């Protein structure tokens, strides 16, 4: 009797387990009967990245003219200097930035662009000797220094090789509000007339 009851009990438990498995399987399969409504819209998701891509491209196109803008261009021997921006900041200074291209046959360090002050002169090249000249106001503005005497300007970490271009910047005290045209000069480069723009 005990053996028969045990067999019957095992059969009943097996039947319950199989039934439960079937119910869960049917429920799982039945969840997909929502048709196309539950499926993600592939056309919508594929069109979104395209729109984002177009937006990025439009943004790049609007930003490109700023970097390509040339306020002035001058030469210092085989070195070609381009000034792209002269921006007056609300903090009372002007940041001048641009590029320098080495068209010579040897690498260039920019040592003659550094200032003459021995205590402020750094090893290698920098724009510490650059200046802005306000001819109308008869004033010359030198590159700003931090509390350690280091210039707020580009310091060339290495030589600019033949054919290479390097970016640079230098910060100066801002001329009076009414002054917008100044001359930028560094090294033996002839003065380059630039116009200061106001930050937004």
pLDDT at 125: 82
pLDDT at 44: 43
* Structure-block tokens of residue 73: 């261009």
In this predicted structure, the answer to whether residue 117 has a pLDDT above a threshold of 60 is yes
**Bigger pLDDT: 90 vs 181:** 181
pLDDT at 47: 41
Q: What is this structure's pTM?
A: 0.63
pLDDT at 158: 80
pLDDT digits (tens, 9 = 90+) for 142-173: 999 988 888 899 988 788 999 999 999 999 99
pLDDT at 164: 94
pLDDT digits (tens, 9 = 90+) for 12-65: 555 545 545 544 444 455 544 544 445 445 444 444 444 444 444 443 333 333
pLDDT at 83: 96
In this predicted structure, the answer to whether residue 133 has a pLDDT above a threshold of 50 is yes
pLDDT at 156: 83
CA distance 192 to 172: 16
Q: Please state the rounded mean pLDDT for residues 3-18.
A: 51
């Amino acid at each position: 009797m005990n053996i028969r009851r045990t067999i019957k009990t095992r059969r009943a438990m097996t039947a319950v387990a199989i039934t439960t498995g079937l119910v869960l399987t049917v429920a799982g399969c039945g969840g997909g009967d929502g048709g196309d409504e539950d499926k993600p819209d592939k056309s919508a998701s594929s069109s979104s990245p395209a729109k984002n891509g177009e937006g990025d491209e439009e943004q790049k196109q609007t930003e490109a003219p700023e970097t390509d803008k040339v306020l002035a261009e001058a030469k210092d021997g085989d070195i070609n200097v381009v000034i792209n921006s002269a921006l007056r900041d609300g903090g009372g200074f002007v940041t001048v930035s641009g590029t320098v291209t080495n068209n010579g046959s040897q690498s260039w360090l920019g040592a003659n662009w550094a200032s003459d002050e021995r205590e402020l002169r750094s090893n290698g090249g920098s724009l510490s000797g650059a200046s802005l000249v306000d001819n109308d106001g008869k004033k010359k503005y030198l590159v700003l220094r931090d509390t350690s005497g280091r210039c707020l300007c580009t310091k060339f970490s290495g030589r600019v090789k033949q054919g290479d271009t390097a970016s640079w910047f230098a910060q100066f005290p801002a001329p009076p509000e009414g002054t917008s045209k100044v001359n930028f000069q560094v090294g033996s480069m002839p003065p380059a007339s630039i116009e200061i723009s106001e930050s937004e």
